[in-house]
A and B are shown apart, each in its own frame.
Chain A
Amino acid sequence: MLKYIGKRLLQLIPTLFFVSVLIFSLQHLMPGDPATVMAGEEQDPVAIEQIRKQYHLDQPIVVQYVYWVKGVVSGDLGESMRNKEAVLPLILQKLPVTMQLAAMAIVIALTIGISAGVISAVKKNTVWDYAANVFALWGISTPNFWLGIMLIFLFSVQLGWLPTSGYVPLRENWQASLASTIMPAFVLGNAIAAILMRHTRSAMLQVLESDYVRTARAKGLLERRIIIKHALRNALTPVITLGALEFGTLLSGAVLTEQIFTIPGFGKLIVDSVFNRDYAVVQGVVLVTATIFIILNLLADVAYHLVNPRLRATL
Chain B
Amino acid sequence: MTDTALDVPLAVEAAVESPTARAWRRLMRRKAAIFGLFVIALFIVVALLAPLIVPYDPIRQSWSAVRRAPSWAHIFGTDDVGRDVFSRVIYGSRASLFAGVISVGIALSVGVPLGLLAGYRGGFIDALLSRITDAMLACPFIILAIALAAFLGPSLGNAMIAIGITTTPIFIRLTRGQVMSVKVEEYIEAARAVGNPRWRIAIVHILPNILPALLVQATLSIAAAIIAEAALSYLGLGQQPPYPSWGSMLNAAQRFLTSAPWMAVWPGLAIFLSVLSFNLVGDGLRDALDPRER
Contact = CB atoms under 8 A, between A and B. Distances in A.
Contact of A260 (B139, B254, B261, B271): B254
Contacts of A289: 139-140, 143
Interface string B199-238: 0000000000000000000000001000100110011110
Contact of A271 (B138, B139, B153, B235): B235
Contacts of A31: 152-153
A271 B234 CA distance: 11
Given A252-B140, A285-B143, A18 B257 contact: no
Given A248-B140, A249-B140, A29 B151 contact: yes
B151 A30 contact: yes
A157 B265 CA distance: 14
A15 interface: yes
B276 interface: yes
B275 interface: yes
B150 A145 contact: no
B250 A15 contact: no
A256 B231 contact: yes
B157 interface: no
Interface residues of A, number: 51
B235 to A, nearest CB: 6
Nearest to B236: A275
Given A15-B131, A29-B151, A150-B264, A252 B142 contact: yes
A6 B271 CA distance: 45
Interface string B263-282: 01101100110011001100
Interface string A190-227: 00000000000000000000000000000000000000
A145 B261 contact: no
Nearest to B265: A150
A137 B150 CA distance: 31
Contacts of B147: 23, 26, 270, 274, 282-283, 285-286
Interface in A255-277: 255-256, 259-260, 270-271, 274-275
Interface string B225-259: 00100110011110000000001001001100110
A290 B131 contact: no
Given A143-B227, A248-B140, A293-B140, A157 B258 contact: yes
Contacts of A29: 148, 151-152
A252 B237 contact: no
Interface in B44-96: none
Contacts of A294: 138
A149 B138 contact: no
B41 interface: no
A286 B264 CA distance: 30
Contacts of A274: 146-147, 150, 235, 237
Interface in B100-126: none
B135 interface: yes
A255 to B, nearest CB: 6
Contacts of A17: 131, 135
A237 B144 CA distance: 30
B146 A15 contact: no
Interface string A275-298: 100010011011001100110010
A81 interface: no
Given A143-B275, A150-B268, A286-B143, A18 B131 contact: yes
Contacts of A161: none
Interface in A127-175: 137-138, 140-143, 145-146, 149-150, 152-153, 157, 164
B139 A141 contact: no
A157 B150 contact: no
B134 interface: yes
B151 A27 contact: yes
A72 interface: no
A251 interface: yes
B272 A290 contact: no
A251 B139 CA distance: 10
B139 A270 contact: no
Given A146-B250, A146-B268, A137 B139 contact: no
Nearest to A293: B138
Interface string A13-25: 0111111011100
Nearest to A286: B147
A15 B134 contact: yes
B124 to A, nearest CB: 12
Contacts of B148: 26, 29
Contacts of B152: 29-31
22 contacts: A18-B132, A18-B136, A19-B139, A21-B135, A22-B135, A30-B152, A137-B280, A138-B276, A141-B279, A143-B227, A143-B268, A145-B250, A149-B264, A152-B257, A249-B140, A252-B141, A259-B235, A285-B143, A289-B143, A290-B135, A290-B138, A297-B138
Given A137-B276, A256-B231, A294-B138, 15 more contacts: A17-B131, A19-B138, A22-B139, A29-B152, A141-B276, A143-B227, A143-B230, A153-B261, A157-B257, A255-B146, A256-B235, A271-B146, A286-B144, A289-B139, A293-B140
Query: 5 tightest A-B contacts by CB?
Result: A18-B135, A146-B268, A252-B142, A141-B276, A248-B140
